[in-house]
Amino acid sequence: MESPLLQSPGAVAADAPDQEVAAHYGDPAREQRSLEEGTAFVDRSNRGVVRVSGPDRLSWLHSLLSQHLDGLKPSEPTEALLLSPNGHIEHHLFLVDDGEAVWAHVEPGTAPALVEFLDRMRFMLRVEVADVSEEFMVVTGPAGPADGRPAWPDAAGTTTRIVPRGEFPADLKPAGTWAYEALRIAEHRPRFGLDTDHRTIPHEAGYVETAVHLNKGCYRGQETVARVHNLGRPPRRLVFLHLDGSVDRLPASGDPLEIPGGRTVGFVGSAARHHELGPIALAMVKRNVPVDTELLAGGVAAAQEVVVSPETGANAQIALRRRPAKHG
């Protein structure tokens, strides 16, 4: 569903999966600063919105998702994952309960598949699941009271809200998705589907900190979460990249992450130009790559900053692996 703001003067459509909204409106750096200052909003109306109602909604979602939801308080925002039986991430949900229903926003294009799965799992429980993306949309803007609407704290002190479709803030300037993505990447927040792939497990992307409860009952994929939590050493880890600012392009999502010499050790997730940090990115790299190894991200030189420790896990000894010092 293409946003009407794409018809605004200067609007440039974003790349997939955000092609239905604007990447920027002519001045990406200014738009970033305005978003941080609380004078702009970002149209994220391409995201899916799902509503789950009924008296059994919280206990039912608790049994399916990675987060502790049985007893979630009204207006308390949280995140959760739907995992495959092998522990791979299938959906990342931002959730809040308003006292009558649980609202969730999810990645563009993923709401129908999520609703179809949840519908199959209802059995005889008193729950109703609906994709309400045609009626409601997601907007990110200045922090403040939610005004009774589903809301979540977001990057750089912003707030993300679910509002009726077409209800954009009249007193704020629009900022493109490039502005939001730059702030998100700078805060090391992975985005499902860009910074992850079909094999990603929660520990690799750092979702254990935000979207997984480690002391709850059984749910699909829990065995993988528990094994990595107790033994540590996931196969890969999320890393933040400072990219070479002398290059006039950014690596694309999915580009290879290489050690100079040509050996591929991972893939690039999302990249952006931050108005203060310069070109930055998130990437997934093999766990055994030393944390100070210089990398090539889609051919662009990059220095890495640890987001997820290569030894992550409750019972693992945290010791970052570095390259041996050269002597002589």
Residue-averaged pLDDT of the chain: 93
Using CB atoms within 10 Å of the CB of residue 254, give its burial: 0 to 12 exposed, 13 to 18 middle, 19+ buried: exposed
Residue 295 has pLDDT above 50, yes or no: yes
The per-residue pLDDT for range 55-64, each reduced to its tens digit, is 999 999 999 9
Residue 101, Cα to own-chain centre: how many angstroms? Answer: 23
* Alpha-carbon gap, residue 150 to 226, rounded angstroms: 31
The per-residue pLDDT for range 46-80, each reduced to its tens digit, is 999 999 999 999 999 999 999 999 989 999 999 99
- φ/ψ (deg, to 5) at 305: -130, 130
CATH class of 48-131: alpha beta
The per-residue pLDDT for range 227-284, each reduced to its tens digit, is 999 887 899 999 999 999 999 999 999 999 999 788 999 999 999 999 999 999 999 9
pTM summary value: 0.93
pLDDT for the residue numbered 319: 44
Residue 327 has pLDDT above 50, yes or no: no
The per-residue pLDDT for range 215-228, each reduced to its tens digit, is 988 899 999 999 99
Beta carbons within 10 angstroms of residue 149's beta carbon: 17
pLDDT for the residue numbered 44: 98
| Domain positions in the chain | 4-47+136-187, 48-131, 235-307
Element (H, E) at 294: none
pLDDT band at 146 (very low <50, low <70, confident <90, very high): low
CATH class of 235-307: mainly beta
Q: Can you tell me the mean pLDDT for 81-89?
A: 97
Per the document, the length of the chain is 328
Lookup: tokens for 81: 């994952």
pLDDT for the residue numbered 35: 97
pLDDT band at 298 (very low <50, low <70, confident <90, very high): very high
Query: What percentage of the chain reaches a pLDDT higher than 90?
Result: 87
pLDDT band at 287 (very low <50, low <70, confident <90, very high): very high
Distance of CA 106 to CAs 170, 200, 242, 291, 298, Å? Answer: 25, 17, 28, 32, 28
Residue 318 has pLDDT above 60, yes or no: no
Q: Can you tell me the mean pLDDT for 165-169?
A: 96
* Alpha-carbon gap, residue 239 to 247, rounded angstroms: 20
